[in-house]
Structure 1
Amino acid sequence: LLAGLLQQSQQWRKLDAKIKTVLPANLHPHFQTACVEDGRLVLLAANNMAASRLKMILPAMLPKLQALHAGVREVVVRVVPKPPTQPKTNSLRLSEAALDSFDEAAAKLEGKHPELAAALAELVRKHSR
């Protein structure tokens, strides 16, 4: 079962890559191929602007898309907004022992490797409690 799903996933990725060779490069990050269902190639657009642009150019591109997949009779574009990305937060917590070790290493490296010593000292400063 899992092998079949992985194989199907690879097929969709390959089809998506082929479709992206036919459609304009500026649209590539804004859509992905979902499936071919009852003769309809389903493309998922990340926003309304990408969907509008795809709908505008797809009639002219249909013959090229049909050449990529024999089962395609028409193309449907659906808008599926990407969820907003959460800002990254630094959850790194260093122990006092680790901070002491970095501080000692920074002091020892000061003469030979001042840039590394400065980076270690900054790390200690940022994570000191």
Structure 2
Amino acid sequence: MNLDRLGARKISAADYNHIQRLIAQAKQWRRLDAAVKNLLPPNLRDHVQTACIEEGCLILLTANNMAASRLRMMLPALLPQLRNLNPHITDARTKLVPKPPAPVRENRLHMSEAALAALNDSAQRLQHHPELAEALQNLVRKQRK
């Protein structure tokens, strides 16, 4: 289904029904993911995500090796509770899907020399507020590098 096409025209009844089924399915997966996470210890919840059910096997994605190995140890004990969440679940397995590293933040702030001179002058005048003066001087030094 082409979603760009949907925005440009009136939605047919068939398209509307299809979208409604997709929304209902997304809600169902969100509920299953939340229920699975409620079965896990709090410190493991942020590292696990429900992926799918393949031939009765619930696939849980983990973000790192530590979470994967801990979850593997817990799955046999959790299986009866997982079966109660969804009758289609007969087994459970974990897959490691590492999160990509966060992009390096780049400072895109560039100040003019006049602004830097004014900040430096302000820092000199704020000797009665040494922490603020030091912060301004650090800002000026970083910008001039």
Per the normalisation by structure 1, the TM-score is: 0.70
Q: Tell me the C-alpha RMSD between the 2 structures.
A: 3.2
Partner in structure 2 of residue 66 of structure 1: 83
Bigger CA drift: 36-45 or 56-65? 36-45
Q: What amino acid maps onto 2:140 in structure 1?
A: V
Please identify, of 43-52 and 114-123, the stretch whose mean Cα deviation from structure 2 is larger: 43-52
Aligned-pair distance for 1:29? Answer: 3.7
In the alignment, the residues of structure 2 paired with residue 10 and residue 99 of structure 1 have an alpha-carbon distance, to the nearest angstrom, of 52
Letter in 1 for 2:79: L
Amino acid at match of 2:101: P
Which residue of structure 1 aligns with residue 42 of structure 2?
A: 25
State the match for 2:144 in structure 1.
128
2:60 and 2:94 map into 1 onto residues whose CA distance is 5
- Assess if the C-alpha contact under 8 Å between 2:75 and 2:93 holds in 1: no
Shift of 1:87: 4.5
Q: Quote the offset at 1:61 in angstroms.
A: 0.6
TM-score (norm 2): 0.64
Aligned length: 128
For residues 97 and 10 of structure 1, the distance between their equivalents in structure 2, rounded to whole angstroms, comes to 55
Are the aligned partners of 2:47 and 2:62 in contact in 1 as well (CA < 8 Å)?
A: yes
SS of the aligned residue for 1:101 comes to: helix
Question: With CA pairs under 8 Å and 6+ residues apart, which has the higher RCO, 1 or 2?
Answer: 1
Residue 108 (structure 2) pairs with residue 96 (structure 1): no
Go from structure 1 to structure 2 and tell me whether the alpha carbon gap of 1:74 and 1:121 turns closer, same or farther (over 3 Å shift). Answer: same
Match for 2:52 among 4, 25, 35? 35
Structure with bigger gyration radius: 2
Measure the CA separation in 2 of the matches of 1:60 and 1:36: 18
C-alpha deviations, 1:55-77, integer Å up to 9, x for none?
A: 23212211212223344232121
Deviation at 1:101, TM superposition (A): 2.8
Give 1:44-59 correspondences, 5 Å limit.
44-59=61-76
Instruction: Give the residue type in structure 1 aligned to 2:137.
Output: A
Sequence identity percentage: 52
> Which shows bigger deviation, 43-52 or 83-92?
83-92
